[in-house]
Amino acid sequence: MSTPLAKVAVGSLGGTISMTPAASSDGIVPTLTAADLIRAIPGVAELAEVHAEALKQVASIHLGIQDLLATLAWAERQVAEGAVGVILTQGTDTLEESAFLLDLLWPHSEPLILMGAMRGAATVSADGPANLLSSIQVAVSANSRDRGVLVVMNEQIHYARWVQKQHSLSTAAFISEVAQAGTIVEGKALYFAAPPKRMLFDKPSCCSKRVLLWTNHLAEESDFLTQQDSFDPLGERFDGIVFAGVGAGHVSPVIARWISKWANLKAILVCRGTGAGSTAFTTYGYPGGEVELQQHGAIMAGFLSPKKARLLLWLILENGLAPRAAVADYLTSMSY
């Protein structure tokens, strides 16, 4: 008697992997479903029993947090029904953000894998089928358990907390800041890194908190934030503010003065302004440097990218946790 194939669930959300030329408009648009994507992979029936379901059919910038929470609930149902791994296909533009948020909420040993494509489905040498095949190979590997949310692209495996899209169009668009978690060789998932220390949060019942992300830059028009002497109306509409500072997490003196006011009322995170590395904590003492910002009440975001810091702060606030302590706990979990 042959051994039953492992069950893998694939949910499609749209993105380039699902896009083909549209008759009614220029360019490519989402058209293909999860079942369509599976049919494009030769021999997949010999690898796993695949349950394919179309969840949404949009560009990834059209997704909202409520969409991701609904997708999370769907993925959890698949695990409850016996899936050894769950794969979500979505657009790559916001894939690292989706993966990071879901990693903070995914409590299961079974891997939750996010993937997509850099070339449309009708393009010569479309990468979607190969990426999806790699994802299925990762999903059925016992060594993929207890690793949280993974991103699989271009035969590379990335942990959600470290992955970032660093090229706009290349099929080798995704990297991990501290080296990739693993790779796929001849159909087998091989890992180079131990499972990460993960920090999980309760799933929010609603999306009541709002977190603003502001990017700092040379000669910025800070009047938009600092146009009033009292706490400004923009700040009043948000529960937290994340500053994507410059360098190791620095802002202008004008913004620094306003952070001293905001930090008494809102959670303020300051992130690095580079694609890699940590914020500084004790190095720079000039106005707008991290020493002064922390004295004003700001929280330095360490290795977190601005986009991921925003999602972490949002989830911390939704859970009613103390931001300073919760961010510190998460930063501790990022290293051994």
| 36 and 120 share one domain | yes
Task: Please choose, from the candidates 182, 160, 168, 147, the residue with its C-alpha nearest in 3D space to the C-alpha of residue 115.
Answer: 160
- The CA angle 181-183-189, to the nearest 5 degrees, is 100
In a domain, 113, yes or no: yes
Contact yes or no for 204/172 (Cβ under 8 A): no
| 177 and 30 share one domain | yes
Q: Beta-carbon neighbour count of residue 203 at 10 Å?
A: 16
Please pick, among 16, 71, 89, 94, the residue that the annotation labels catalytic: 16
* Domain end marker among 191, 222, 250: 191
| 161 and 270 share one domain | no
CATH code for position 251: 3.40.50.40
| pLDDT value of residue 261 | 85
In a domain, 107, yes or no: yes
Domain span at residue 297 reads: 211-333
In a domain, 215, yes or no: yes
Q: Is 240 helix (H, G, I), strand (E, B) or coil?
A: strand
| 220 and 294 share one domain | yes
| pLDDT value of residue 108 | 99
| pLDDT value of residue 22 | 86
| 123 and 172 share one domain | yes
| 124 and 169 share one domain | yes
State how far the alpha carbon of 185 is from the alpha carbons of 110, 149, 156, 332, in Å: 21, 20, 10, 32
| 97 and 240 share one domain | no
| 158 and 215 share one domain | no
State how far the alpha carbon of 288 is from the alpha carbons of 44, 231, 251, 253, 278, in Å: 55, 19, 5, 5, 17
In a domain, 203, yes or no: no
Active site residue 16: yes
| 172 and 37 share one domain | yes
- Per the DSSP assignment, residues forming a β-bridge with 58 are 14
| 234 and 185 share one domain | no
* Domain end marker among 128, 156, 191: 191
**Known binding site for substrate: residues?**
60, 92-93
**pLDDT by 10s per residue, the chain, length 336:** 578 999 999 999 999 999 999 887 789 999 999 999 999 999 999 999 999 999 999 999 999 999 999 999 999 999 999 999 999 999 999 999 999 999 999 999 999 999 999 999 999 999 999 999 999 999 999 999 999 999 999 999 999 999 999 999 999 999 999 989 999 999 999 999 999 999 999 999 889 999 999 999 999 887 766 665 545 556 678 999 999 999 999 999 999 998 998 898 899 999 999 999 999 999 999 999 999 999 999 999 999 999 999 999 999 999 999 999 999 999 999 999
Q: Indicate the number of domains in the chain.
A: 2
Q: Per-residue DSSP letters for 181-237?
A: SEEEETTEEEESSPPP-----PPPSS----EEEEE--TT--THHHHSSSSS-HHHHT
State how far the alpha carbon of 136 is from the alpha carbons of 35, 83, 103, 111, in Å: 14, 12, 19, 11
- Residue 15, amino acid: G
* Domain end marker among 156, 191, 226: 191
| 175 and 235 share one domain | no
